[in-house]
A and B are shown apart, each in its own frame.
Chain A
Amino acid sequence: MAAAQPNRLPSGGRIDRSRPLAFSFDGKACEGFAGDTLASALMAGGVSLVGRSFKLRRPRGIVGSGAEEPNAIMQIGEGAAAQPNLPATQVELRGGLTARATRGWPAARFDIGAINDVFGRVLGAGFYYKTFMWPRSWWKHYEHGIRKSAGFGQAPDGPDPDRYEHMNTHCDVLVAGGGAAGLMAAMTAAKSGARVILADEQNEFGGSLLASAASIDGVPAADWVAAAVAELQGLEDCVLLPSSTVFGYHDHNFLTIAQRCAGPTGSSDGGAVRERLWRVRARQVVLAQGSLERPLAFCNNDRPGVMLASAVSVYVERYAVLPGRRAVVFTNNDSAYRAAISLAGAGAEVAAIVDSRPGGGGELGVRAQALGIPVLAGHVVSDVAGRRRVTGASIARWSGDSWGAVRSTIRMDCDLVAVSGGWSPAVHLHSQAGGRLAWDESRLCFLPAEARQAHVSAGAGNGKWSLGECLADGLRAGAEAVSRLGLKTAAIRAPETSPDAGENPIEPLWRVPAARDADRCPRQFIDFQNDTTVADIRLAAREGYRNVEHVKRYTALGFGTDQGKLGNINGMAVLADVLGKTIPEVGTTTFRPAYTPVSFGVCAGESVGELYDPVRTTAIHQWHEAAGAPMETVGQWRRPWYFPRNGEDLHAAVARECLAVRNSLGVMDASTLGKIDACGPDVVEFLERIYTHNVGRMKVGRCAYGVIPGEDGMLKDDGVMARTGERRFYLTTTTGGAAAVLDWMEKWLQTEWPELEVYLTSLTDHYSTIAAAGPNSRRLLEKLGCDIPLDKERFPFMTVKPAELAGMRVMLFRVSFSGELAFEINIDSNNAPAMWRKIMEAGAEFDIAPYGTETMHVLRAEKGFIIAGQDTDGSVTPVDLGMNWLLSKEKDFLGKRSLQRPDCLREDRKQWVGLLSQDGRTVLPEGTQLIGDNGKAAKMCGHVTSSYFSACLGHPIALGLVAGGRQRKGETIYAAQAGRDPLPVQIVSPVFYDPRGKRQHV
């Protein structure tokens, strides 16, 4: 054990020493304990080098203990279940876990890119913009190398096998953060009867209390936490979410939480969920995410072994890991003294506490000195020695009054430098919610100011540093949320704590001046992940960047996966200094979700594969599938595309299906058509306004083809409508337009014409529609047994009748979308499969051919019938389509006024025409551009909207929109062809087959 975990302390911590866990890092076998994070286990194992920096390839070690970690960025797992770019500090250790450093290809210990550090002088701010963008055509060569050496993690190599899910929930109070303040707020709210969700990003609640030596109500802080959590668990309507990061605060108090539930399960049929996204609508929110410690900028402050002081305490106290044997603690505030005390208590030597303040620390300073720790007040660390690990620190006297050079230094050997530059409340969620920030000059941090949504901040996140303040502030925030809910606050007292140690105030120190000029000294890092240095920010300012958002983009400050949690405030301070402004004048950059990176898996949840989007199927779908029909997706619908016989391909099957309809009998499932029942005393008046034709002239039992323009005059949708009663119509729409047409009609009824009494009811799903088309369709119906006469005198074209067919009640339409004698059978979907089967049986003697969408398209194209949405695109009027005959002159209708706009009257508008390839064999690709001459000047005059091979005519046919096309029939224009000469095409009438329309009337 000792060999495997040389830095593990013999006792203490919240790890379970009875459960050792084996894992691997960069291919090497390692060991840790249950309760470890990957970071604490690596540190216990003596791994100090965990990656290379982004640009300069400098060796890097673990800096922090939580979401702020910039360096220890890992690729976890292998293959399809791999997860890139996770901070080791937030990965709970599991047995068998495999980790690789994402930054440090091919391995952290040996990195060929480290040469960048030597030539790094030329890799300043904006380097990528300045160098690699020129010449532009070379970028594709640079890009590969940059991406590889940048060392981001690798995407999984297959579909993620694990299960992710979403959970939509509501609560009265969401408490983000389960430290001292969050626990108090949750307790207050839950005990007052509110529905509470408490979420914390760590696997245990308690936050900093888990590494605290303080006592609360006379018991150790961790015991108080355990008791509080147990009490909350016992309360009704209190949901506790550990390992859950509240990462987004969106509009209207909608928050998103990513919960890490299990490691990769590697099996998609297991029930275990890997990650869960909680989508929470909270009436009130308490933000208690604590604060983030800031580092200080000094030369070579990125060397492995330079860590945040608070992280040092966490590793010692919570994980029983000693981050170093001989430490220098460097601070401008009192909090770092705790790290020194922790280290001394764990048996490490603390060479000195280097405190920039002339007066040093307060009570904690006295305590440290009592432990024999030397305190160097009025001193700073100006540089560190060592490359792969700190070997010593240079310490200089500091007067604090200028950015002047620091000259005489003393050197102190050490393998750990614990740094504290003060604390920044985690105001991210407050700011995402639109809340303002205010600079606090005494605490030297931005504090949450006015909120714009229903939230209140508490604890360290609200600038309350001491435990006693945090507990009291949590109680206050919880009570405030409760009172805003209109509930009565339960009587709860703030727990007793040992009195807070008297502190000396923090001193404004952001960066230690170097012995040499700031731009020539060894690098002083601000953003470790993106290698942004003090010099880079100064360079940006010199080059004219004044706005913090611009400086951010120019220097990449805060652009890493850690989003600058450590560097942003320090960077602003450096910018403020060089611009001669104050920090609040410089301001912060915008905080946006997500607070920490979120996996694509948890964003997608269950909406993957067959559940990605609803699939709509008709009642007869199973028959189509059994018949082996390939399916076409039309909106959300799956429709049979064609019905191959004996291994036919699309072309052969469609040719056969088309000829079957023209010569004998075909049958199609047209159930996806939209269907609307419209009834009421004002239904005629209403439909007169919606449709262009004279609706009122239709007699009961008559059908009509109708088009619906928008108010701009452009065609929206079309379909057959039938008058089924004096005050009742049955309207059909296109498959894709069903919902939009109903919405359109309801909008006019409800917002503009509420005086019209009309009820609209969707019947799309209720009725299945079976179209029987072809010269033998009447004989088919007669054979099935129909209780109404079907001859052309008593049931003429464009009429509708209720009937009983094959013993089932149907609405029988004599309409045709193929130009043949045809009937559309509308039947209760429950009976549709039976009807379909009977039709197939009865149709056998006519060699009935079921046909799909492709044949339907060819048949209608031969007849010059449009498909709204294919031949039209929102810029085509009924006039452009040659439908003047449909436009009533006797009434107004929506869109009529717009048809008189000058643009709609232009002679050279694109008009819908037929097109014939003059070579008699080329089927033009749909979308083909049409040009006026054979290509020299290439003036575009239109495009092809529909194009097929017509088996019945024996040659290709096409439809398209051509400028002034209707007046140009007989003219030859050209179809542009990729890589070939333009093909001559002739403009013809769009009706290719049976132009007089005799066949449908028989």
Chain B
Amino acid sequence: MLLIECPWCGPRAETEFSYGGEAGIERPADPYALSDAEWADYLFFRSNPRGAHRELWNHAQGCRRWFGVERDTVSYRIEKSYRLGSAGSGRPAAAQIEASEEKRR
């Protein structure tokens, strides 16, 4: 069972969270400008990397916040978790990443 650090509540057991898929996928500003293939790519295709993976988690049983996690899909090590920026699409707030990295040092 993973131990996931909610950027608000601190480390909690995985059972308190729900998974939200890959983070940082930009929603097209104008979906209608996209071809069907491009739209399908946005909608259905994910990178599924071996190694570092940015993903969204929701502290469902806690503060109900969505946040970002960088997790290694091989070792399951969580490199960092971060609050989301105001830019949307699950992109991290740069300042938050720095703060989280600061904390780890």
Contact = CB atoms under 8 A, between A and B. Distances in A.
Do A and B share a direct contact in the complex (Cβ within 8 angstroms)? yes
Interface of A: 250-254, 279, 281, 434, 452, 711-712, 743, 746-747, 750-755, 892, 896-898, 900-902
B43 A711 contact: yes
Interface string B1-25: 1110000000001000010100000
Contacts of A753: 88
B66 interface: yes
Given A251-B2, A746-B64, A898 B56 contact: no
A251 B76 contact: yes
Contact of A743 (B3, B36, B60): B60
B51 interface: no
A250 B1 CA distance: 7
B63 to A, nearest CB: 11
A898 B42 CA distance: 11
Interface of B: 1-3, 13, 18, 20, 27, 31-32, 34, 36, 39-40, 43-44, 56, 58, 60, 64-66, 75-76, 78, 84, 86, 88-90
B84 A281 contact: no
Interface centre among A252, A434, A452, A754 (most CB of B within 10 A): A252
Nearest to B91: A751
A892 B64 CA distance: 27
A754 B36 contact: no
B58 A901 contact: no
A902 B37 CA distance: 10
Given A897-B39, A898-B43, A752 B27 contact: yes
A254 B39 contact: no
A712 B43 CA distance: 7
Contact of B39 (A434, A752, A901): A901
Given A747-B58, A897-B31, A902 B66 contact: no
**Mostly helix, strand, loop or mixed at chain B's interface?**
mixed
Contacts of B86: 754-755
Contact of A452 (B39, B56, B64, B75): B75
Contacts, number: 63
28 contacts: A250-B1, A251-B1, A252-B2, A252-B3, A252-B76, A253-B3, A254-B3, A279-B1, A281-B13, A711-B43, A712-B43, A712-B44, A743-B60, A746-B64, A747-B56, A747-B58, A751-B20, A751-B56, A751-B66, A751-B84, A751-B88, A751-B89, A752-B88, A754-B84, A896-B31, A897-B39, A898-B39, A901-B39
A747 B88 contact: no
Given A281-B3, A746-B64, 12 more contacts: A250-B1, A254-B1, A254-B3, A712-B43, A746-B58, A747-B58, A751-B66, A752-B88, A753-B88, A897-B32, A900-B36, A902-B36
Contacts of B75: 434, 452
Contacts of B32: 897
A750 B31 CA distance: 20
B18 A750 contact: no
Contacts of A251: 1-2, 76
Contacts of B66: 746-747, 750-751
A285 to B, nearest CB: 14
Contacts of B2: 251-252
A586 to B, nearest CB: 24
A508 B3 CA distance: 43
Given A751-B84, A897-B31, A901-B36, A743 B18 contact: yes
8 smallest CB-CB distances across A and B, nearest first, come from A897-B31, A252-B3, A750-B66, A751-B90, A752-B88, A251-B76, A254-B1, A754-B86
Contacts of A743: 18, 58, 60
B35 to A, nearest CB: 11
A100 to B, nearest CB: 37
Contacts of A252: 1-3, 76, 78
B20 A747 contact: yes
Given A254-B3, A743-B18, A750 B43 contact: no
A743 B3 CA distance: 21
Contacts of B58: 743, 746-747
